[in-house]
Structures are given as structure tokens and as C-alpha cells.
Chain A
């Protein structure tokens, strides 16, 4: 299971939030495998457990959240078995994360440069401040910041959203991590800037061969950026497979619904939304969690939880009816 070609292998991860209203099962049995050098998309609506999965891998789930089950292997190392101190050395150095909101993900009190310097020295105090500063300026250049030696002394509030996100990216890749999580990295940016930031992430990924897990609800970005996709719904995996397969022949009704919600310029058709809402994760629906919103649901879907089945070609799907349904993808 923990083959060395996988940089990340998550099995049956469960992360619950113990709130006063009840136990929120934000991640309830998600399994995920990411190969070295792969760009893996994690898609789903807000609240489906995508972000919590990333935070769980880094083991920085905020309280009252807690990882209650499952295993996470990083390059063959069992992350759940590490002490907090050992885990800290993995963060930033082996894997890093870029958050959605560049405004709040930078500390307003420190200059951009200082925050990158801090990231460079976070796990290695032997790097001198001067050396770290030179490295930081190089990093800023890499992420496309004009006049990096001047911008080094700028505060976050003096920068535009796109610029701040570039700083956040520079900070995340400062220790040359092998795996980068990007949690909706472009959602809060203008469309024109979105493309630039996505291109930047592509370039960076190529230039030092890191693996990328891109978390988004935007199927367009998934198509553009990833080679494999895992679709999550209500804390569980609906299906996983190669991006092109998923787009051309979805096997899960939820994937089909997501694809229908993507606007297309080449085909004039009604834009459909996924009917209904993300279920309450304190008392999730019985059987298949998608059944209340699924147009193809039968009695069995209400009763039995669908097992994850191997659909060949590296595809896995959790649907009782995947063999009989003929779902429509993009064409």
C-alpha cells in the first residue's frame, strides 16, 4: 500500500470536529493517493472536507477538530506516528500549504521579506540572516515580484491581492517542499490575476518537480491544472481518476452535476446548479450521502453505503449504480 512511488497516501482518514452542537464529521473516511510529481485535484463544494483533509495531513487541524482515525503516509513515513516535534520538521520542509485568502494569511505586522526569511529559517537556524535575505529576494524574483529588493521591505497592506498571494507562495516554497497544498489559491483574486497565479504554480511545479494538491470547487481550474482528480462529497470520496476520464466520462452522479455547473462558451445551454445543499455533517444522510440530491437515487441508495469499487484504469467510484448509469461529461 505504501509504495514508494506515492508521495502521499491517505487511507480512510477521519477528522471530526467536536462542537457543542454535536460531532461534525468533516472528513469521514477519505482515501487518497498522490504520486510523485503529480498534480492532484481535490474537488467538492464548500464544506465537503477538502481543506480539512489538507490540514489533517499537516496535522494542524484547529480545535475542536481532531483526527480520529485512518493513516497518512508521506514518502513511506507514518505521519500519525510522529511526535509533534518531529512533525514540525515536516511542515514547511517536506510539505507546505498556500491558503485561500492572501490578506489574512500574511501577518500584517511584518514586511513581506521578513516573513519569507522567517520561513527559510523556520527549520534551519544555521542559515544566516544575510544568506536568508539573499535567498528570499531570489524567491521573490522566482514568483514574479517586480523589484524584489525593494518589495522585500514592503508590508502586506502595501501590496495588491495578487502580489500578496505571490508572497504567500514564495513563503510556502521557501524550504523547497516536496508536496504543496494549494487551498483555493485563486478564489479571492481577480480573474486576470488568477491565470497568472495558476501559471506561476505550474512553472514552479515543473522547475523543481514538487507534487501539488490543488483544492478547489472550480472544475475549470481542475481541467487546466491537474492530471488526477478526487471528487469529495460530504467528507467522503465520490470518485477518483485521471482528469480527462473524469471530465469525459464521469462515473458518479455528483461529478456529473458538478460538470453541468461549469459555464461553457462553445455550447449554449442552461447552466445547471447542483440541486439542494451540502448535508449537515452532524447527522449525515443514511446510505449514500448524495442520495437526497441525486436524480438517479433508488431505494438501495438510502439504505446501504456504497463501497468504493475499482472501475479500472486507476479509477475508483463509490456509487451503487455506476455500472448501469450512462452519465454525461463534457464533450
Chain B
């Protein structure tokens, strides 16, 4: 009991790396603004749909003669030509878009860390082969391939998959950047003196890799995750905008696609989800920049 309190006291006294980063982050106004925007959208994605007046992709308003109406109290974001309530679909879309961004990025980062760590730690031919694979995935025109795959998937039996398919495709092609960074970081950390020092104390290779090298390369991943989510949301919007998304799915990209056709008559249909997209992506970018500054070891005091 005595010992425990002493330990807690000591822990309180001493700031961890993350606490130091958080202190730095709080001083960065743009980063905090980004965090606020992202938090707001996360809450919106979780709770928003409960307050949505209409179910997703519902044409109910069409039968009430309220299609193609400008914003009003009943339809805050207006309605679309088929009677879809833009406000409701924007809320449902927030959930879908954020989920696509987060899940696809999680898959991409998991693969990226695995491949990158292996490519960085393995020397000789295995490392060279892995680097070749990373570079191959880096240079292929990802967007075209994603469009092609999602069209193929739609033609085949897979249209029931909906956004899960989009998540998988984005994730499976979204890792080369992460693995490049991880590989480079491992190269850097592996040469640091503390790795030699651990070896000189009799630590085993696996202990050094898992306890000292990998934890030390994870900080840039936090930044990459934030920027990756923004990128994946944008790509998802593009997929839907080009009409390659699974049909009947409430996303911002879908609304923008529908709205652009009548942009001069019903500008609110593409306008509101478009603004939401820009705001969320902007928020993630600010957050990413803030994190990158806060975690940059060269700026640490």
C-alpha cells in the first residue's frame, strides 16, 4: 500500500511523453481547432442519426409534394429533386463517411505497420523484395484501380456489401505510404545508440525490436492516421461523386453527385454536404498538423 502511493506520486510528478506532447498540442491553436471540429463530427456521427427526421435515402417528402425545396424549418438543408431530405441524409452520411474514413485508415495502417516493420528490420533480399512490393503499390494509379474494383464488385454479386466493400478497397490500397514511413523510421531508430546500449546489456533481439524499436516509431503513425482519414473521406466522396459507390447509400459523396446535376436550380443539395466534407477534412488536416508539431522530437523541450 505504502509502495503503491509512492509510485503514484512519482508518476504524477513526472510527465510522460504523451503528457508532454499534449501540453505542446494545447498551445497550438490550429491543432486544438482541428480537434474540436473532429470531435464535433464524431459526436454528430454517433448521435446525429438518432435525431434525423427521415430514414436514409427516404423519398417521403416527394409524396408530400416537397421535392426540390430550398432550406426551411421543416427541411433545414432543403430537399432534393426526388424528395430526399438533405439534412437527414447529411446526418446519416456523417456516420457513413466517418466510418469509411476511420475503418479504411485502420486497415491501411495495420497493414502498413506490419509490412513497414518487416521491410525495415529484415536485411538483404527479404527487405529488398518487400521494398519492391511497397514501391509497386505506391506507383499504381490507386484511384483508377479502386473505381475499377468497385465497378467489378457491383457487377458481380457483391452489391450487398455496400460501404464495407469501399472500406476494404480503400484500406487494402492505403498502406504503402504508412509502410514507407515506418520502414524509414525503423532504419533511423535501429541506428540510435540506445539500441546498441540495450544490446550491450544483454537484451535479446526480439526484446529490442518489440520493446524499444517499434514503440519508438509509432508517433508518426498518429499523424498519418489523422491525415489518412481525411484522405480516405475525400477519396470516398470522389468514388460516390463519379457514380461508383454502392447504390442507395447515404453518404455526402452520393448527395453531391445528385446535387451537382441540378446545381444551378437546387444548389443546397450539393452545397451542404460539400461544406461538411470540406470542414471535416480541414479539421483532420489541422489536427494532423497539430499532432505532427506536438510529436516532433526535434521540437521537444
A interface residues with partner B (beta carbon < 8 Å): 55, 58, 60, 62-63, 88-93, 96-97, 99-101, 104-109, 111, 118-119, 122-123, 130, 149-150, 152-155, 157-158, 168, 171-172, 174-175
Nearest chain B CB to A173's CB is how many angstroms away? 11
Residues of A contacting B206 with CB < 8 Å? none
Given contacts A58-B200, A99-B197, A118-B201, 15 further A-B contacts (CB under 8 A): A62-B196, A88-B202, A91-B199, A91-B202, A105-B193, A107-B216, A108-B297, A119-B201, A149-B6, A150-B13, A155-B17, A157-B301, A158-B14, A175-B201, A175-B202
**Cα separation A63 to B121 with both chains bound (whole Å):** 12
Contact residues in B for A108 (Cβ distance below 8 Å): 17, 216, 297
Interface residues on B, range: 20 to 34
Does the CB pair A153–B200 fall under 8 Å?
no
Residues on B with beta carbons closer than 8 Å to the beta carbon of A104: 192-194
Q: Tell me the bound Cα distance from A164 to B92 in angstroms.
A: 54
A165 nearest CB across to chain B (Å): 12
Chain B, 1-20, CB within 8 A of any chain A CB: 3, 6-7, 10-11, 13-17, 20
Provide the main secondary structure of the chain B interface: helix
Considering the chains assembled together, what is the distance between the CA atoms of A62 and B11 in angstroms? Answer: 35
Q: Which listed residue, B7, B11, B198, B215, touches A109 by the CB 8 Å rule?
A: B215
**Distance (Å) between the CB of B42 and the closest chain A CB?**
28
Partner of B123, one of A63, A154, A168: A63
- A63-B123, A107-B212, A153-B10 known; A171 vs B193 contact (CB < 8 Å): no
Q: Is the CB of B17 within 8 A of A92?
A: no
- Closest Cβ neighbor of B190 among chain A residues: A62
A residues less than 8 Å from B3 (CB atoms) = 130
Query: Main secondary structure on chain A at its contact with chain B?
Result: loop
User: Is B203 in the interface zone, CB < 8 Å from A?
Assistant: yes
| Chain B minimum-CB-distance residue to A100 | B193
Asked whether B204 is an interface residue with its Cβ less than 8 Å from the other chain, the reply is yes
Chain A: CB-nearest residue to B3:
A130
> Does B123 contact A153, Cβ atoms closer than 8 Å?
no
Contact between chains at A154 and B14 (CB < 8 Å)? yes
In the A-B complex, the 5 residue pairs with the smallest Cβ-Cβ separation, listed nearest first, are A153-B10, A92-B201, A92-B202, A105-B193, A91-B202
Chain A residue contacts of B14, Cβ below 8 A: 111, 153-155, 158
Known contacts A88-B202, A105-B194; is-contact A150 B215 (Cβ 8 Å): no
Chain B: CB-nearest residue to A58: B200
CA separation between A101 and B195, bound complex, in Å?
Answer: 13
**Which of B14, B17, B216 is packed against the most chain A CB atoms within 10 Å?**
B14
Contact A153 B201 (CB under 8 A): no
How far, in whole Å, are A105 and B216 apart by their CA atoms in the complex? Answer: 13
One of B191, B201, B297, B301 near A96 (C-beta < 8 A): B201
Interface pair A99/B193, CB less than 8 Å apart: yes
| B23 interface contact, C-beta 8 A | no
Q: Nearest Cβ distance between residue B223 and chain A, in whole angstroms?
A: 17
Residues of A within 8 A of B6 (CB): 149
B26 interfacial by beta-carbon distance below 8 Å: no
Q: B300 within 8 Å of A by Cβ?
A: yes
Interface membership of chain B positions 148-172, coded 1 if the CB is closer than 8 angstroms to chain A and 0 otherwise: 0000000000000000000000000
> Do the beta carbons of A168 and B13 come within 8 Å of each other?
no
- Minimum Cβ distance to chain B for residue A178 (Å): 14
Q: A152 vs B6: C-alpha distance in the bound complex, in angstroms?
A: 11
| A91 adjacent to B201 (CB under 8 Å) | yes
B199 contact set on A, CB distance < 8 A: 58, 60, 91
How far apart sit A60 and B301, CA to CA, in the bound complex (Å)?
32
Residues of A within 8 A of B11 (CB): 153
One of B13, B196, B201, B301 near A171 (C-beta < 8 A): B201
Task: Output the nearest chain B residue to A95 by Cβ-Cβ distance.
Answer: B200
Given the known inter-chain contacts A150-B10, A155-B16, please indicate yes or no for A101 contacting B202, CB distance below 8 A. Answer: no
B20 neighbours in A (Cβ, 8 Å): 157
